[in-house]
Structure formats: structure tokens, C-alpha cells
Chains A and B, each alone.
Chain A
Amino acid sequence: MATLWNNYRYLILRRFTQISLMVLYFGANAWGWTVLMGNLSSSLVLGIVPLSDPYAALQMFAAGAILSIDLLIGVGIITIFYLLVGGRAFCSWVCPINMITDFSSYLRRVLDIDRSQRRQPSSRNIRYWVLVLSLIISFFMGVTAFEFISPISMVHRGIVFGLGFGWAAMLIIFLFDLFVLKDGWCGHVCPLGGFYSLVGKFSLIRVQHNADNCTACMECKTVCPEKQVLFMIDKESLPVLSGECTNCARCIEVCNDDALGFHIRKLGKNNKTGENNENNE
């Protein structure tokens, strides 16, 4: 039991936050709870504190909408929060799609699909292209372009307000990640993940690698949904500074040699740990 907890503690905590947020949202609509109302696009905590998706607000801005004070406060709170805890902490700790793509990823390992599809034919920078494209389309069409096709919104909105054909979006992402591209949606395409990657460049909570303890078993790279951020494994004791790291902490759990752990990023002069090592293709 203790090892189970030790090997899956962050995973259990992540599933707990993901599911309980959805339960709170669902309860707000179904039973009138006021703890957390709305959905992941914009919500109201205890009927007072607004929270808003900064990427949605960015699209609104590009589309030419007038941004209200409430919206800007909500965007500010969320942006500051993810600036502190790591941008893509949203992806692994909040976003419900993460449960689907993690399941795909798990099945790929179990069914040994990874081995036959070792070459990944596409770039992880697609998400930044999609991000830019969404803003361009928002600008020219005068609508929030990604919000009208976002499977993320379809799912979290669907859970709270009724799914409709949203299950099709879930299934497509599941199959795409399972058979077409490993970590396809979250790691390659999703512009929201791309947006939070940019926010996360500056965040304080980081995974730190201790190369002295590393036995090069590469378990961490097997489970990591954004492998490229772990380029330093067994080479150098560096913090994972790439914004693309989702702080999901799977690498920490699977490491039996205490070579990975959460650290607060040292601000200011950082002589050896390489603040400049952010370019890591």
C-alpha cells in the first residue's frame, strides 16, 4: 500500500483535482452549489471571485471584443496562478482531456504500439502554429476561433451542461493519440497547451534532476508526455526549465533512485543550473 501511494501519489492527486473540479462545476449546475460555478472558460468562486481562461480572453481581444473588468480580473488571477505553479499544470492537474490522453498513452505502452511507431512524424511546434492561427482567424472572422472548435471546452462544458455529440470529440482524440500520434493532441496540436507552455516559461515550481543519483533506467522518459523537456537525464543536474513540462510529476514517481523531485526555481543569478538552457530541441 505504501509503495502504491509512493508510485502513484501525484497521479492520484491529479485525478483527484481534475475530478473534483468537474464535480464542483457539475454540482453548481445540477444542484445549485455555489463553490465553483461556470466552467473552465470562466467561473465564479463562492459567488465572488471571477476566474477566466486567459487564452479565451486573448482570442476575444483579437476578435475585437471589449474586455470587461470582471474578465480582466479573472484572467489576471489565473495567469498569476499559473505563472507561479507552472503554466501547463493546467494540462495535467485540471484539464479533463488529460485523463483521455493519459489513458491513450498508457494503452500505447501496454499494447506496445510505441515500439512500432517509434518515429514521430510531426513537430511539437504545431501547437504554436495553431495558437497563432487561432488568433489570426479570430481577428479576421470576429469570433473566438478556437472556442468554437475546442474539444477541451466541448468536454468540460459537456460534463456540466450536457454533452451532445461531444463524446465524438473525446473518442476522436482518444483514437488519434492511441493509433496516430503519441501524445498527439496534448503534446503536438493543442493551442491551449501551447499558450500555457509560453506562460510556464517563467514559473517557479520546477522538476529538478540530480544526475548523480540517476541510473539511466529511462523510466521517466517512458512515462513523460513531453519527453523533450527531459533532455538532461543522466547527463547534467539541471532543473526542467522548458515551459512544455506539464508538472505532472509522473517522472518523479517512477524514479526509484531519487534523481528527480520538485524544487522552487531559484530566482536571480543562477550560475550552474543554467537559466539559459531553455532551448532544448
Chain B
Amino acid sequence: MKNKPMSDRRKFILNMARGAGIAALGGFIWSAYVDEVTASQLLLRPPGAIKEDDFLKTCIKCGLCVEACPFDTLLLAKPGDNKPLGTPYFIPRDIPCYMCPDIPCVPVCPTGALDELSVTTNGVLDINVADMGVAVIDDESCIAFWGIQCDACYRACPLLGEAITIDYAKNERTGKHAFMKPIVHADVCTGCGLCEKACVTEKAAIYVLPREVALGKAGDYYIKGWDKNDEKRLENASEIKTQTNISKRSAIDSLNDGLEDLY
């Protein structure tokens, strides 16, 4: 076997096997890396961005949205930022989205990763329906919840009185003052981050998170029975049939079950 010259077919097969082996190893490392870098969820996308999964495959990373932004809000993720490389995002505490009425960042997108239709009402661009994220309040560090008067976020909100409202409550500690607590209404909030920028605390007590991260979901089994619109969700609900097997043993045996190892 050793002295015989190797046949061309054998050589070819071995070469292909070597290539496939290297490709498999490379592919494994490559896909592990890609999986890791695209796993980052805490990322705020420009207005009109489609669902994150689709965004990652559709965004071509050209930066036209970044160039269109007049406030230099948008950034492209650089190597070392630990974000999906080359995709646009913004950090509201540095520069929030100022919600331009003409939304210059969206129509320039060549691939539709920023979807014009998602920020359009009745055929007109409407930044107020944008959904970049949602503001959440840490009421432990928000000084308005302490009783100190502050309504910086409320005043900064471009949808003043709609996305953030002030809830008045009696301050029992002093007995004569009022709490003026900011409340975010998630259904109105666009996630622009002007509140986060305006927040006076050392680290913002109100901050924007992606909606999927910040919000829970009640599911189809809990319905506001008093709300006609909410009742419509029942149409989505699917039926799950569960079956519990009834023990055929006597009740005494069943009650004493599981105590064997005590003795």
C-alpha cells in the first residue's frame, strides 16, 4: 500500500475531505462569533427599524441614516463597541433622538431596514408613532419619588402630557407636601430618550430600553373583560387541553407516599 502511487481519485477525495474539515472548523468559529456579536439586545435602533432579527439581516451597514441625522444622534457600531458591527444605534444619555418631523434618517435607507411605512400615518411621515424603545423609571433613584420637586423628564418629553404624565400623591412624611411622580405611558412613548438626557440624577433614573427588554406580556389568558378592544385578543387565544392522570391507588397510600426514605 505504501509503495503504490496514490490514485487520483483517492487524492481528490482526501483533498476534498481536508477542505471540508478546514471549512467546518472555520465555519464553527465564524458562526459562533457571529452568534455572539448579534446577541446584544440592549441596543436602541433608529426610528422605523424593523424587528431586530430582520434588521440584522437587512441592514447593509452603509451609514446613510447616520449621515442624514442632523443632530449626530446615530452612530455606527465600531469594532470594540461590543455591538453588532456596523449597525446604527444611539445612546440617548449622550445625544437623544430629537424626533424630526420629516424623519430624514428613514427614507434614505436603501434596504428597508428602516421602514417608512412603520412611521407613517395617513400617508404622511409621523415621528410620533416611532417605536425606538420605551422609557422606564427607577423609582428608587428618581428624586421625584423621594418628594423632591423635579419634573425635568416630563418637561423634556416631546409628547408632553401624553407619554409622561405627573401623578400627584400626598407626602405622608411631611404631611403638607405632594409627590409629583412621573409616569411613563408605554403605548405612547417613542423611546426618543429626551427624558433620559434631561434627567438630573448622576446616572439617569429614567432611561430608554428596547421594548422587548423592558415590557412584559400578559398573554392571551388574561383579558380585560371590561374593555371591548382588549376582548378581541381572545380571537388569538389557542386552546390547550391538559389531562391529569388520576391515581388509582387508595387515598391512604397516596398520602403516605414519599415518606419511605424518612425511616
Query: What is the interface of chain A, defined by CB distance below 8 A to chain B?
Result: 28-29, 32, 37-39, 41-44, 50, 52-53, 56-57, 60, 63-68, 70-71, 74, 129-130, 132-133, 136-138, 140-145, 147-149, 153-154, 157-158, 160-166, 168-169
Contact = CB atoms under 8 A, between A and B. Distances in A.
B60 A44 contact: no
A137 B62 contact: no
Interface in B24-79: 26-27, 30-31, 33-35, 37-38, 53-54, 56-58, 60-64, 66-67, 75-76, 78-79
A38 B57 contact: no
A147 B111 contact: no
Contact of A145 (B22, B31, B62, B108): B31
B57 A137 contact: no
20 contacts: A29-B63, A39-B61, A41-B61, A42-B61, A42-B64, A42-B111, A43-B64, A44-B64, A44-B108, A56-B60, A60-B57, A60-B111, A71-B60, A136-B27, A142-B56, A154-B86, A157-B63, A157-B76, A158-B79, A161-B76
B58 A60 contact: yes
Given A68-B112, A164-B78, A42 B30 contact: no
A160 B57 contact: no
A64 B79 contact: no
B34 A143 contact: yes
Given A68-B110, A163-B78, A166-B78, A42 B60 contact: yes
A129 B26 CA distance: 10
A203 B144 CA distance: 69
Interface in B214-256: none
Contacts of B86: 41, 147-148, 153-154, 157
Nearest to B20: A129
Contacts of B27: 133, 136-137
Contacts of A149: 30, 33-34, 85
Interface residues of B, number: 37
B132 to A, nearest CB: 20
Contact of A29 (B23, B31, B60, B67): B67
Contacts of A41: 60-62, 86
Given A66-B58, A147-B86, A38 B79 contact: no
Contact of A38 (B22, B54, B64): B64
Interface of B: 19, 22-23, 26-27, 30-31, 33-35, 37-38, 53-54, 56-58, 60-64, 66-67, 75-76, 78-81, 84-86, 108, 110-112
Contacts of B78: 158, 161-166
A169 to B, nearest CB: 7
A52 B61 CA distance: 11
A116 to B, nearest CB: 25
Nearest to A161: B76
B23 A133 contact: yes
Nearest to A163: B78
Contacts of A141: 31, 34-35, 38
Contact of A133 (B30, B58, B75, B79): B30
B30 A145 contact: yes
A65 B63 contact: no
Nearest to A32: B67
A130 B22 CA distance: 10
A56 B58 CA distance: 10
Contacts of A163: 78-79
A166 B79 contact: yes
Nearest to A70: B110
A147 B31 contact: no
A29 B19 CA distance: 42
B112 to A, nearest CB: 4
B243 to A, nearest CB: 37
B12 to A, nearest CB: 14
A30 to B, nearest CB: 9
Contacts of A52: 60, 110
Contacts of A138: 57
A38 B63 contact: yes
Given A147-B85, A163-B78, 9 more contacts: A42-B111, A63-B57, A70-B111, A129-B19, A133-B23, A144-B60, A147-B86, A148-B34, A148-B37
